[in-house]
Every structure is written in structure tokens, then in C-alpha cells.
Amino acid sequence: MQEMRVLITGGAGFIGSNLAHTLSQKNDVIVVDDEYLGTPENLPTDVEYYNRSVLEENLPTDVDVVFHLAALSSYAMHEEDPQKGARVNVEGFANVVEQARRDGCDTIVYASTSSIYGSRTEPSPVDMDVTVKTGYEASKLARERYGEYFANHYDMAVAGMRFFSVYQGYGGAEKHKGEYANVIAQFADDIANGESPVLYGDGTQTRDFTHVSDIVRGLVLAAENELTSVYNLGTGEAYSFNTVVEMLNAELGTEVEPEYVENPIPEDVYVHDTCADTSAFESATGWEPEVDFEEGLRRVCSQYTSAEPASD
């Protein structure tokens, strides 16, 4: 990416801070975060940081590119307060994009979600029909429709990225998320400390686990290519939670058994399986995932198996 002035909303969070570290090497990076799921401790020292909400006026949107990652990002957060979820995820998105448009920015890359596909063991293409069963999914679909509006009405480049189960591990920027961290980070930390990871149901649910470094590359490529559409970012491979526990035990040299509990999320809305079809994004940018699952788990576990964590 040539040198630009870039705004990352939700930039002190897990994915946003990884993006900030990458972009700040050659760009002027501004971060806006309300610190609900983020912490400025995740950020490099050379970014311009604002502890603000995406619902506010007069945001620092006089930039070349906006990466809009700010969101209430789970089923539980939306069920606790559906109106707040809609305001942050939908109104917050429209507010940031409109302010950016008025300031002359016409390139937006934003976070959507793979949850919108529901449970599928086959790879999900971006052009398949989707339905929503939760407030979280509804807010992300609404975000996509507003992205389509801005692209069509104002001729902006607006790309929505449907992330598939992004992980890095507690050696990266996930630890502060606690119960909202990806299961890989939580399972690895439990097993490394001799505690049983807690699996919902029988552990046969599967996820397309995608390393955050591949997500960051995808976000940057979407901006560089000024894309306008919705795309998947995933690997096209899925692993069950049981398999994840087995592989983590093998990597850590442990034999910790999981604990199985009743799933607290209603079965009719729980996404049991995910898998990405990334062909559309690969065709548009040449992107493909570079961190395979074995290497990703090695990086996650490196903080427990060596004195120096592997660099992401």
C-alpha cells in the first residue's frame, strides 16, 4: 500500500490493532476506539489515537481510506441490548462512512461476518442466499446493504469482508477480549495451564479458522484494489473443536481432556459449522491464505513452548 492517511475504527481491538501495526510501518494511521473490546496497549506508539465512539460527530475522517472494524461482535452482546447493537453496528457504520464521504474519502473497507451463512459444512460462496436469525447477523446484513447504497449512490469503493473465525492467540492481541476471544486462544491457554477447555455440546462443531495475518493482508488488498462488493476471508478448510483440542495437546506436549457442557446458545440460532469459499476474493486480488492451520497453532502455542513467542 502506497503511503496514505488511514483511519481504523475499532483499531485498538484484536484485528484492528494487527492492521494498525502493519499499516503504520508506511502510512499515517489514525485509530478510533471506544475501548469496549479494545485497549490502546495493543497499538504501536506512532498512531494517532482517539478514545471515541463511531456514533459521534466530527470524527477524524479526513483520510484516504477508512477501515471500519468497530462493532458489537457477538450474539450475546446483541441479545443483551438489541437497540444498542443496531445503533453501533448499523448507525455507527453509516455515520462513519457519511462523514468520510463528506471529507472526500471514497474508499471504505469494513467488517461483516460469516455467521450470516448459518451452519454449512460445504464452502459458502458470497453469492448464495442468506437469512438472519440473530440481531448480530441482522446488523451485519444491514451494514452490507448500507455499503451497497454508498457504493451505488455516491460511486464509492466500499468492500465488505466476511471474516471466518479469526484467531491469533494470547501471545498476540487477543488476551484482553477474555470470553470473547477466539476458542483457539482460550483452549490453548487452558490446556497450557493444565485446565480442561470447555466445549459446547459434543465438540463436533467445525470452524474455518483463519489466522489474523491473512485477514490483515486481505483488508489491505481490498483497499489497494478499491473493491466494491462483499467477499469472504477464510481458508476453505474446517476443523472440529475436538480436533483442535487434540492438535493443541500434541503441540504443547500435554494430555488435557476437554469438558463438555450444554450449549447455552439456542440450537436454532447456533452456527454449528462454517467454511469459506474465497474464490471471488482470490480472483479479484490474487489473495490466498498463507498460514496453514498447523503453523497457526504453532504460533499460538509458541508463547507456552519457548522463551520468545513467534512473530506474527
CA distance linking residue 272 with residue 202, whole number of Å: 11
Determine the CATH number of domain 168-206+238-280+290-304: 3.90.25.10
Q: What is the mean pLDDT of residues 239-268?
A: 96
pLDDT digits (tens, 9 = 90+) for 162-194: 999 999 999 888 888 888 889 999 999 999 999
Asked whether the predicted pLDDT for residue 80 surpasses 90, the reply is no
Q: What is the mean pLDDT of residues 141-148?
A: 97
| Third-level CATH fold of 5-166+211-234 | Rossmann fold (3.40.50)
pLDDT digits (tens, 9 = 90+) for 273-285: 999 999 999 999 9
Q: What is the mean pLDDT of residues 17-23?
A: 97
Residue 309 confidence (pLDDT): 46
For the chain, residues classed under CATH 3.40.50.720 are 5-166+211-234
CA atoms within 13 A of residue 300's CA, in its CB half-sphere: 37
Q: What mean pLDDT, rounded, does the chain reach? A: 94
pLDDT digits (tens, 9 = 90+) for 107-121: 999 999 999 999 999
CA distance linking residue 242 with residue 85, whole number of Å: 32
Least confident window among 17-26, 41-50, 202-211, 299-308: 299-308
Question: How far from 267 is each of 50, 61, 118, 139, 190, CA to CA, in Å?
Answer: 39, 41, 12, 20, 25
DSSP, res 262? -
Q: Give the three cell numbers for residue 180.
A: 470473547
3-state secondary structure of 34: coil
For the chain, residues classed under CATH 3.90.25.10 are 168-206+238-280+290-304
Nearest to 168 by CA among 260, 282, 42: 42
Residue 306 confidence (pLDDT): 77
